[in-house]
Structure formats: structure tokens, C-alpha cells
Structure 1
Amino acid sequence: MGILTWLGTAHGANDDIWQLYVADKINYDDNLFRLSDKVNPTLLLGPDYSRYDFVNQLSVGGKIHYPISRQRVLVELRADDNRFIQNRRFDHFSTHDTLTWQWALGRGWSGNLGYGYQRSLASFAYTQFFLKDVISQQDGFFDFGYTWHPRWKLSAGLRWQESTHSNRRRRALNRQEVSGSIGLSYTTPSKNSLGLEYRYSDVDLPNRELKPDTLLDDHYRIQTLGAVANWRYSGKTRVEGRFGYSMLENRHYPQRDFSGVTFRLSAEWEPTGKTRFNLAGWRELQPSQTLDASYMVSQGVSLYQFWNATAKILVTGGLIYEALDFEGSPGLAVEPLEKRRDRLWSGLLGVSYAPQRHLEFGLSYQAQWRTSSRPFLNYADNSLSVSAKLRF
């Protein structure tokens, strides 16, 4: 995914959007499989694979944002045809589609009801699995907010998510999750807000086989109680975040449980009308993307910059650091391998040029480095992409 985002153009007097587009992006990656320099790619991948590759992504899509009285319907569709020049066996069709109804009822009720579907090629960043694996993800959600007083708001939501892997050797990572949340917030006269929130997630890994000699569980739940805040320090600076305490409990193997502080904080600063910075830090639990862990603890920091150099040119950049601890790994009572810990650094730079209202060109570069406690998992990667987009 590129780091440049186009917001689209509104048409019509009622703030509705009806838009179609076609786009093409060519991406060059010098380490497609995220291999260590100590690895001989021919021995590991075979003669039919190439360490580097060009990928052409041809996309068609559209969006509809249509208001009906106080309601609003949002439809966003995108389909991509992905073609590899060297590693043709990874050619695939991907898509990203969402349907959302933003509803309002009476004087104080509002919320969202929707469904999303994604289909994409599994990343090679966390695994040493070099066969084609397409992940399909479904996401259904419902949430509401009730404002019974100008200062107080009650909110709650439910979400169902499912991800499935096309390759049978990766189906142990198939995942189903049902989650819910409830919160209460107070908004000050200056439009700052502070609240309490409780979140609950129930995660099933239906294809994960339980054996007496393994500690890899097939089910866990996460509970988080915390505070949420949104503070506008000035007209140019805004801070928001979530800070809480999380508990992850495995159904069968409590020795793999987790409890501790989790958070995500971000600050946005707009020193001028053309420049914006976003600084974020986090400590969160994430789903495992490997077969040797039940979940991951992610800690990191990111800094993004956006600069409208002219009315037609947008320059973006970013720096990201992330530490990943792989928890709940399988093995005997005394594990032969050290617990996996990865450290990742990324740098991003992009330029978007829109010479006309309906036409946009993009150029972006990304560099990544990873160190790992496991042998042969360190890597360095560089990628460069060129894109064009035509909107109707």
C-alpha cells in the first residue's frame, strides 16, 4: 500500500460523492521475500524464484457517499489485478470493499452499521513461507452513541471479523474474532473530551490442532479497561489517545497469558496551513502472523510529515520504529529456541502531483530494516513505486 492518499472530489449540491477511477502502479522491490543477506536465495527458493521483482497493479474502483435526510450511505469498492514480472506464480486478484450506513435516530442516537471485505497476498515479512497464500478477511460491525446531555455521551459497539488463508499449510492461522466495547465520555465547553472504556475480544483459531506436547492455544480472550481522551491544546495542536490495562487469557494454557499496560497516543501539529506533523506511540496486542506464536506485543513510535508544497504537489514522509515480541509460542516444557523478538525500522518518502482535477501521479520510496533474535531473519529491503490515477 502506498503512503499517498487521495480524498476525492465532491459532486452535487447535497455533499454527495459519485466517483469512479482507474489507476496503475508499478512497484520495484529488491528483497521481495525479506531474506537475510546470509541466505542463498537459490538454495532456499529454488531456480524459479527471483529475490527482486517488479509488480504491476492495475486497479479500478469507485465510491458513493449519498445522504438521505439525516442518514448517509457510503460505498467504497476497489479491485486490483497484481502481476509479478519474475515470480509469476504469485499473480493474484485483490480487493478492498466496504458498505456503511451512518444512521441517526431522534435527537440523541447515531451510529454505524456496515460490512467490509478484503482479499490480499500474505506478507513475507514475518515468515519463511515462500508459497502463494491469499488471505480473505470479512468484517461486520455495528456501533452507536447516545447523547442525553450536551456534555455526556454513552457509546457501544459490536464487531465480527474472520480471516482465512488459501494455502492449506497456513490454515492454522485462520482466525475468528467477536469483540465489543462500551464507554462513557464527557465533553468540556472547549470541545475537549475524557472518558472510560471497556473492550472485550473473543478469538478462535479453529484449525489449530491441540497436542499434549505443545503450548500453542486455539482460543484466547482479551479484556481492556482504560481511559480515552481528546485534547485540543490550540488551533494548531491536538492530542488524543487511549491508555488502559489489558489481560489476555488462553483457554488451555494459562502459562502463556498476558497482563499489562497498553496504550496508543498521538499528537498532531499544524505549524502552517501547508504543513502537518503526526507523532504517535503505542504498546498493543496484535494477532500472530506466524505459526510459532499465539499473539504479538507491539511497541513502537512513528512520525509522519505532510507538506502541500503547492496547490498541486503534496510531499509526505515518515519514520517508524516497532519492537515485536512473539508470545505464546509452542514447544516442550523447556523450549530449545530463544523467544523471538524482532526490531523493525522503516523510512518513507513520497510525492503526489495533480496537474488537473481528475488526474494524479505519485512517486514513493520505502526502506526497511529488521533485526531478530532468531537466526537468518534479519533483512534489509528497498522499494520504489510509480503510480497514475484517473478519476471520472
Structure 2
Amino acid sequence: MPRSVPSFVPSFVVAFAPARRFRLLAALGGILLTASAPAAEPEEGVHLYGGIGWAHDDNLLRIADGEQPFAGRRSDSYRTGEAGVVVNKRISRQRLAATAKVSKVRFDHFDQLDYEGRDVQATWNWAVGNKLEGRAEALYVQTLAPYTDFRSDQRNLRRQRRQLFDAGYRLHPSWKLRAGAARDKYTYELQVQRYNDRTEKAFEAELLYQPKSGSSVGLVARRVKGEYPYRRPFNPLVASDDFTQDELKARVHWLAGGATTLQALAGYVRRRQPSYGEGSTSGFNGRLNASYAPVGKLGYTAAVWREFAPIESPSVSTTLNKGASIGATWDASAKVKLEASAVYERRAYSARFVFPGSDDLDDAIRSARLNATWQARPKIKVVAGYAYQARSGSPVLGTGRFDANSVQVSANVLF
């Protein structure tokens, strides 16, 4: 699904903070993930990075309509400063890309949320001979967890640690066999949120056909195991949220001609989670991405998906998300770029047991974003943006409707 960010201050995360939520399944599925980067891919070598920013959000903690906000107010402004180092190095056929950044975030009113962020990432794209290649990846991210589905005004840092290894062997000029494994671990600062602590391990194998046309098609088999060490406060007597998910999917990368590219990863998924309902669910699961980049200054993207996803809520831990997104970019000049996007996602929750209203556990989230980027100098970038987010709410789960608007401006430099 689209890149997901802590939703209490969406524009702040995109423009200033070092965090990105790396999705385990997408990474193993080979979908390109954009790591937090200060600008376009830097030239080779070691570079220092620095940035400052300011933002304002009119519903910082995502308070539902009609609810009494914390300390009698909903809005707040905050300032961010960050610094780090960026490494981009190629040695023969090996390539190393790494970033190490720290950030400080200071709020004007809700100063109990002040925190120091961490973002350390490293990726090694390796090759041995002409037939064997792959990548190894490690990551550590510390940032604020989202407040979209958790009502609190207390700081709740989320830490993510990940390790990934992927290898592919070329059996034939047009055929490739690939295998990979990844481990993601999430931990939360607040004791009342520790039921979201989890470790996800994924293993997959793929047989890929790559003709000379540049398109490709593959068959992917994957198993994902999730382990939750703590039980939810909803009912501590039930089983944990541990799950096993098996997938058999087709992966398609199709150069449709001209400026159009289609990418799909979709197929059959079976998820077993004993603490919910009948204990298992199965069916179609997948994502389709499309991009259109004609010669000129405009570019377009679109996506649709149907995927399982975790949720940081006290009463449920998993949703089946169905959504769609559209986006457009415009290179207004050599130095100015405009970006716009809109996302709609409907979340269907799985009830642990039957109760009044348990057959209608869903809500929807809508978001939109508009960013303007000015490349003032080759290594100096200024970003200004506006973001909107809204949730329809689920009365059965005790979540209400809200709207939130935020604006931001930032500047960064790469030395």
C-alpha cells in the first residue's frame, strides 16, 4: 500500500522527520521503497546533511468531533532540526547506500511530546560473478507512533528494527530464481501500548521470467509469521495476536508501451490468527500500481490494493484494507516541482468474537496532499506543503469522525 506515515502530523513526517514505515511484505515483494532522503540521489562519496522546519496542525492528536480535547485545545505548532551523514558508494559491481540521522522535535503547547528521532539505514546491493546477486539491508528508526487510532496526549515513541537478506540466481538469460528473508521488530514506549509490540518474520521464494523486452512476470510463494508477546487489554484471557500468513502471488512488471508502466503483486492469501473469529481467513490479496510519464513536465500515478495491515488500536490488531490512490507531478520549471496526491482507504476489522455490531466493524480514511519543492541551489532544497486527513470513525469500536489540516515549510542542505 502507499507509504504510510504517523498520521497525527502527516506533513511533518514527510518533510522533516527521518522516519519511514518500511512495510515488510512490500520489501520482500520487491516493491521499490523510498528511504528517507534529503534530496535527489547524491553523488558518490560521503556527505553531511542538515535541515530545519516548522509546521502547524489544527488537530494534532486526531481528536474526534464532539470530544473534549486535551488541555482544551486541538492545534499546535512544532519545530524540527535534523543532521546526519549520507553515504553513497560503488565498488566495482557492489553498491553501498547508508544514512545516519538524528532529529529534535519541539512542540509549542504539547511539549510533553518533544522527542529526539533516530534513523539509521544501510543497504548493500551485491553481486558475485554474472549469475548471483542480491541485497542486504539493516534499519533502525525511532519516531512518534500515530495517534489516529489511539487517544492520548502522552509521548509514545515507536522503535523499529529490521534486517533483510535477498539473493537471486540467474538460471538462464531469461529466468531467475530468487529467495529472501526479513525480520521486523516493533516496540512502543508507553506501557499501555505495549500490546502492539511485535516481531514479523517473512520468507519467500520466486521464479521470475525476464524477456528482453524489459517486462517480467514471476510466481511468488511467501510465509509471514507474526509474534505478539503481550495480550491486548480488550480481553487478556484470549489468545495472543500471533498469526501465520501464507501467500501465493503473481508478480508482473509490464512496460505497456510508450510512457505507461504497470506493476502488480496479487494472488491467494490465507491468514491464520486463532484469537479472531473463526481463526482463519483467505481470499484475494494484492496491489496494482500504474504510472504514466509522457515526454514533458507532467507525470501521473495510480494504485489500488486489498491487503491485510496491522493497526495500533487497543481493541483490534488487524484490518483488511481496500483502497485507491492517485497522484500527479508537474515540473513547473528547472527548479520548481509541484506534487499532488489523494488516497481513500476502507478498513474492515476482524472481531475476536460475535457481539452486537461486530458484523459492521469498518471505517474509512481519506487524505490529500499538495507539496511544492524549490531546488534553490544544487544542494539546497526548500519544501512547502499542505496535508488533509479525515476518518469516518466506527461507533462500535468507540472511534469518531475527525478532520485535520496541516501546513509545513522546511529547508535542507547537503554538504
Q: TM-score, normalised by structure 2?
A: 0.87
3-state SS in 2 of match to 1:314: strand
1:368 counterpart residue number: 389
- Tell me which of 146, 162, 181 is aligned to 1:123: 146
How far apart, CA to CA, are the structure 2 residues paired with 1:376 and 1:366? 22
Contact 1:139 1:161 in 2 (8 A): yes
**Which AA in structure 1 matches 2:379?**
H
Residue 245 of structure 1 deviates from its aligned partner by 1.0
Q: 1:6 and 1:139, CA in 2 relative to 1: closer, same or farther beyond 3 A? A: same
Contact 2:15 2:383 in 1 (8 A): no
Q: 1:283 and 1:337, CA in 2 relative to 1: closer, same or farther beyond 3 A? A: closer
1:154 counterpart residue number: 177
- Tell me which of 2, 14, 19 is aligned to 1:2: 14
Q: Deviations over 1:291-338 (max 9, x none)?
A: 2113111110011111111110010000110111122x446x535766
Residue 350 in structure 1 maps to residue 350 in structure 2: no
2:9 counterpart residue number: none
How far apart, CA to CA, are the structure 1 residues paired with 2:192 and 2:42? 46
How far apart, CA to CA, are the structure 2 residues paired with 1:306 and 1:25? 23
How far apart, CA to CA, are the structure 2 residues paired with 1:214 and 1:136? 27
How far apart, CA to CA, are the structure 2 residues paired with 1:70 and 1:51? 52
**Which AA in structure 2 matches 1:129?**
S
- Name whichever structure is richer in strand by fraction: 1
* RMSD (Å) for aligned C-alpha atoms: 2.1
Structure 1: gaps spanning 5 or more residues: none
3-state SS in 2 of match to 1:218: coil
Structure 2: gaps spanning 5 or more residues: 1-12, 17-36
How far apart, CA to CA, are the structure 2 residues paired with 1:175 and 1:357? 42
- Tell me which of 99, 121, 125 is aligned to 1:76: 99
Residue 271 of structure 1 deviates from its aligned partner by 2.3
**Which AA in structure 1 matches 2:174?**
R
2:345 counterpart residue number: 322
Greater alpha carbon shift after TM alignment, 21-30 vs 337-346? 337-346
How far apart, CA to CA, are the structure 2 residues paired with 1:205 and 1:58? 34
How far apart, CA to CA, are the structure 2 residues paired with 1:176 and 1:276? 38
Q: 1:193 and 1:75, CA in 2 relative to 1: closer, same or farther beyond 3 A? A: same
**Which AA in structure 1 matches 2:374?**
Y
1:172 counterpart residue number: 195
3-state SS in 2 of match to 1:271: coil
Greater alpha carbon shift after TM alignment, 274-283 vs 94-103? 94-103
Residue 217 of structure 1 deviates from its aligned partner by 3.0
Counterparts in 2 of 1:156-235, with a 5 A limit? 156-208=179-231, 215=238, 217-235=240-258
How far apart, CA to CA, are the structure 1 residues paired with 2:359 and 2:266? 30
Q: TM-score, normalised by structure 1?
A: 0.92
3-state SS in 2 of match to 1:293: coil
- Tell me which of 54, 60, 68 is aligned to 1:40: 68
Residue 37 of structure 1 deviates from its aligned partner by 2.1
How far apart, CA to CA, are the structure 2 residues paired with 1:218 and 1:191? 42
- Deviating above 6 A after TM superposition, structure 1's stretches of 4 or more consecutive aligned residues are 209-213
How far apart, CA to CA, are the structure 2 residues paired with 1:210 and 1:361? 44
**Which AA in structure 2 matches 1:173?**
N
Residue 211 of structure 1 deviates from its aligned partner by 9.8
Greater alpha carbon shift after TM alignment, 285-294 vs 261-270? 285-294
- Tell me which of 58, 75, 96 is aligned to 1:30: 58
Contact 1:292 1:330 in 2 (8 A): no
Greater alpha carbon shift after TM alignment, 82-91 vs 288-297? 288-297
How far apart, CA to CA, are the structure 2 residues paired with 1:213 and 1:68? 53
2:24 counterpart residue number: none
Residue 178 of structure 1 deviates from its aligned partner by 0.9
Contact 2:271 2:282 in 1 (8 A): yes
Contact 2:248 2:268 in 1 (8 A): yes
Contact 1:217 1:253 in 2 (8 A): no
3-state SS in 2 of match to 1:322: strand
Counterparts in 2 of 1:107-118, with a 5 A limit? 107-118=130-141
Q: 1:211 and 1:127, CA in 2 relative to 1: closer, same or farther beyond 3 A? A: closer
Q: Deviations over 1:90-145 (max 9, x none)?
A: 00111221112211112100011121001011111112233211011000000011
How far apart, CA to CA, are the structure 1 residues paired with 2:122 and 2:299? 30
User: Percent same amino acid among aligned pairs?
Assistant: 26
1:20 counterpart residue number: 48
